[in-house]
Amino acid sequence: MGRGFDVDQIEPPEDYPTVLMFATGSGISPIRSLIESGFDASKRSDVRLYYGAMNLHRMAYQDRFKYWESSGIEVIPVLSEPNHSWMGETGNIQAAFSKARKIWRPLSTGAVICGHRQMREEVTSILVKDGVLRERILTNS
């Protein structure tokens, strides 16, 4: 579902070396398609995926994380209802991203967002406040 992502808006990699990806729930599927169908993260210096789910049992494609990381993507899983042994990020991905907040060159940054409306709106607001151009924020809605 959705229109897909107009990745030409964040090309070429030399001009947009930072790409931030955000996905919640089933929103990871279009992101996976992007990652595995020719998006060349290795040509960029900073590609991060913030992926939120309720718990590890609901986090799809965990078996792909190592592959994605080997292709140049830093995967940051965020659980809203983790079990007691979880040592990673907790809460929502907006909060996890706000805490990290590493955008060195906002005019050379692109973003890809897929997930529920509140997350899309809040992440977009954070990115725009940090100087990322709205036309470089791609959504699948």
pLDDT (tens place) for every residue of the chain, 141 residues total: 456 789 999 999 999 999 999 999 999 999 999 999 878 899 999 999 999 999 999 999 999 999 999 999 999 999 999 999 999 999 999 999 999 877 889 999 999 999 999 999 999 999 999 999 999 999 986
pLDDT of residue 125: 96
The two beta strands, 73-79 and 89-90, are: parallel
Residue boundaries of the structural domains of the chain: 21-35+45-139
Q: Give the residue from 53, 56, 28 showing the smallest Cα distance to 112.
A: 28
Q: Where are the alpha helices (DSSP H) in 44-116?
A: 65-70, 93-100
d(CA 76, CA 108): 21
Q: Where are the beta strands (DSSP E) in the chain?
A: 18-24, 46-53, 73-79, 89-90, 109-114, 137-139
- Is the CATH code 3.40.50.80 the one for domain 21-35+45-139? yes
- The answer to whether the beta carbons of residues 91 and 78 sit under 8 Å apart is yes
pLDDT of residue 38: 77
DSSP code of residue 19: E
First to last CA, the chain: 8
pLDDT of residue 2: 56
- The answer to whether the beta carbons of residues 21 and 61 sit under 8 Å apart is no
Residue type, 60: A
